[in-house]
Amino acid sequence: MRRKTVLIPAVILLSILSVIVLVLLAQTLWDKSGANRAGQQDLISAPPTVAAATSPPPTPEPTPAPPAYTEAVWVGVGDIMSHSPQLPGAYDAALGVYDFNPFFAEVKDILGQGDWIMANLETPIAGADFGYSGYPAFNAPYELAEALKNAGFNLLSTANNHSLDKGERGLLRTLEHLKELDLQAIGTADSQEEADSLIISEKNGIQMGLLAYTYGTNGIPIPQGKPYLVNLIDEDRIKADIARLKANGADLVTVALHFGNEYQTAPTENQKSLARSLVAAGADIIAGSHPHVIQPYEVIEGFDDQGNEKRSLIIYSMGNFISNQRGDSKDYGVIFKVGVRKNVTERVTTLTDIEAIPTWVHRYKPDRSFRYRILPVEETLAMNNDELLNAGDYDQMKKDFDMLVQRLESMR
């Protein structure tokens, strides 16, 4: 009986413990299941993270490099004349040679500021065997070309009314002499092939196209079948030549025009019409000559065929740079100094600073022969210490300088 008494409580106790274990196990399973459900709900309802909500940032565009520029300077002057009185004082009898370097000594530093340095050579330089002569049929010694070279010139317009003063042979000899000195002639040629060749001069990475034409040759006929000897003004042809230069890489084009009326201080309507038409066709600089006096200049603001802003310069006449002509401002000329800037990145070229520097041909007579010097007027007046000038010279220069500046700027 005792053994039965002992077994019943043990069974009961074991049963109770089993129930407790089952309850605890069920609770544990229930807690885990609830946690899983809560976690899933959290995943569903939780806001997306920043990484899931935004796209990867775009690759930044590279910062464009600033434009690259290059610059150069065009210097232009007017007429290089060789009148008979200019020769004796330049002749060195002991050496049997001419020396024209003193003509240009006082302006050489100004000329040297240019990269393209251009003048109108209004005389053949055909040599002694043609005979040296002045007006009306010029021929200057070879030493004049040497002096131009020494002064810094590298471009010479040779298309003018005196191109054929010594005939075809004189023109050809002149070209030979200029080529010997590496002076580029513009507007005359020794063959059709040379005439058709483009003249493009590169300075500091800027390509300048060059053209020159004259209204005529003083009634001297151009030899039959040789129109290439001298370029005559023909508006349609000039426009075609400008276009051809631009198509072949010229960044800008300078056109030398020998036109207008002698000794007239204002341009004619024909001058203005032609020059402006050529600018509209793509010319950048018009370098005028022939009147032998200074005429006004004008700056044309506009746009090129690509829509870029463009400045063009029309100089109707630069007067006499060196000559024996006197009075009524015929003894004055002007040096133009023109800045040229090229945006290499965008391949756009424009004119920048434009400076007009009036000059005076000082003629004096220390012995039986005249001597000549080209003086920059404003600088000479400011220095006021030239031993070869007197008070009257200074007074006249001051008066004339004010008049010339007013004339030059009258069309601006």
Question: Does residue 219 come out as left (phi exceeding 0), alpha (psi in the -120 to 50 range) or beta?
Answer: left
Q: Any idea where the domains of the chain sit in the sequence? A: 70-408
Residue 99: Cβ within 10 Å count: 15
Picking from 212, 204, 211, the residue whose alpha carbon sits closest to that of residue 115 is 204
Residue 361, CA distances (Å) to 294, 333, 371 in order: 13, 8, 10
Q: pLDDT grade, residue 66 (50/70/90)?
A: confident
Q: Say whether pLDDT at 74 is over 70.
A: yes
Residue 363: Cβ within 10 Å count: 17
Q: What is the phi/psi pair of residue 309, to 5°? A: -60, 140
Mean pLDDT to the nearest integer, 365-385: 98
**pLDDT per position as a tens digit, 217-254:** 999 999 999 999 999 999 999 999 999 999 999 999 99
Mean pLDDT to the nearest integer, 278-299: 98
* β-bridge partners, 373: 362
DSSP E strands, 16-134? 69-80, 91-92, 97-98, 116-121
Q: Say whether pLDDT at 2 is over 80.
A: no
Picking from 187, 101, 171, the residue whose alpha carbon sits closest to that of residue 137 is 171
Round to whole Å and give the CA distance between 207 and 185: 17
Amino acid identity for residue 90 in this structure? A
Q: What are the residue ranges of helices labelled H in 46-58? A: 50-53
The helix or strand, by DSSP H or E, that contains position 391, with its residue range, turns out to be: helix 391-408
Mean pLDDT to the nearest integer, 322-326: 98
- The answer to whether 148 and 374 are in contact (CB under 8 A) is no
Rounded to two decimals, what is the model's pTM?
0.85
Q: pLDDT grade, residue 22 (50/70/90)?
A: low
The CATH number assigned to the domain with range 70-408 reads 3.60.21.10
Residue 206: Cβ within 10 Å count: 21
Q: Say whether pLDDT at 11 is over 90.
A: no
